[in-house]
């Protein structure tokens, strides 16, 4: 890895640097060796590489860009704001509410994503007949996003919180502890 930014990585492969657009930095630093799962988008005037930390995220990306009016940049934007498990959960529950709150994704697009992925979940190797684990409430998510935290960071922080906490204020306090460390 020769360069890391918030939305891209430059990796060195036998002396050739490749720019990969990514949904995040994967927690790597310059000089670190990393394995990246890639997708090559071929257009008339460009060859763009998109990189993912694991094969499941790559598979979700491919499913997203197969949907009408979702291109590679939009698919990457979706994965930068919501992880694969969250998209899976929204699709399984047929609930586009959270996806509609993401920057650049409207209510109709979120509903199309959920409807379009409904029949394709088994490609990711995820069960399609049992509910996903419950996530902390939407009020806590909205409050933390309003405080300036990214939706992806908020979801990751909330995933670590005990399911015993039901009070929104307590959930927010615990999430803030995690987000500030």
123 and 60 in a common domain: yes
Q: Do residues 117 and 61 both lie within one domain?
A: yes
pLDDT tens track for 133-149: 444 456 777 777 777 77
SS3 178: helix
Which residues constitute the domain of residue 145? 138-180
Answer whether 38's CB lies under 8 Å from 49's CB.
Answer: yes
Shared-domain flag, residues 107 and 159: no
* Residue-level pLDDT at 134: 45
- Give pLDDT, residue 128: 56
Q: Are 58 and 37 in contact (CB under 8 A)?
A: yes
Q: Which of 113, 132, 151 is the last residue of a domain?
A: 132
Q: Are residues 114 and 142 in the same domain?
A: no
Number of domains composing the chain: 3
Q: How far is Cα 116 from Cα 33, in angstroms, rounded to an integer?
A: 36
Q: Please determine, for residue 114, whether its predicted confidence score (pLDDT) is greater than 50.
A: yes
Nearest to 144 by CA among 154, 134, 135: 154
pLDDT at 112 over 70: yes
Question: What does the pLDDT look like over 68-109, one tens digit per residue?
Answer: 888 999 999 999 888 888 888 888 888 888 788 877 788 888
Pairing status of strand 47-52 against strand 37-42 = antiparallel
Q: Are residues 7 and 40 in the same domain?
A: yes
Q: pLDDT at residue 127 above 90? A: no
Same domain (yes/no): 6, 66: no
Pair 3, 27 in one domain: yes
Reading the block at residue 148, the tokens are: 């300036």
Residues 128 and 59 in one domain: yes
Chain segment 10-54, per-residue pLDDT in tens? 988 889 999 999 998 777 778 888 888 999 999 999 999 999 988
Q: Does 95 lie in the same domain as 145?
A: no
On whether both 152 and 118 belong to a single domain, the answer is: no
Q: What was the pLDDT predicted at 123?
A: 64
Quick one: pLDDT band at residue 132, thresholds 50, 70, 90? very low
In the predicted structure, residue 168 carries a pLDDT above the cut 90: no
Domain boundary pick from 132, 148, 172: 132
Task: Name the DSSP class of 110.
Answer: H
């Amino acid at each position: 890895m020769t360069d890391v930014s918030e939305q891209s990585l430059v990796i060195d492969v036998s002396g050739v640097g490749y720019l990969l657009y990514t949904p995040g930095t994967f927690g790597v630093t310059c000089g670190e060796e990393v394995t990246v799962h890639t997708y090559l988008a071929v257009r008339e005037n460009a060859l763009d590489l998109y990189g993912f930390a694991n094969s499941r995220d790559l598979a979700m990306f491919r499913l997203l860009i197969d949907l009408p009016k979702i291109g590679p940049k939009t698919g990457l934007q979706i994965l930068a704001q919501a992880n694969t498990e969250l998209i899976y959960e929204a699709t399984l529950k047929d609930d586009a509410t959270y996806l509609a709150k993401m920057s650049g994704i409207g209510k109709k697009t979120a509903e199309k994503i959920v409807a379009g992925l409904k029949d394709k979940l088994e490609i990711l190797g995820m069960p399609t007949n049992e509910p996903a684990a419950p996530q902390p409430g939407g009020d806590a998510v909205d409050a933390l996003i309003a405080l300036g935290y990214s939706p992806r960071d908020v979801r990751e922080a909330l995933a670590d919180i005990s399911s015993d906490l039901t009070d929104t204020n307590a959930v927010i306090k615990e999430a803030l502890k995690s987000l500030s460390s």
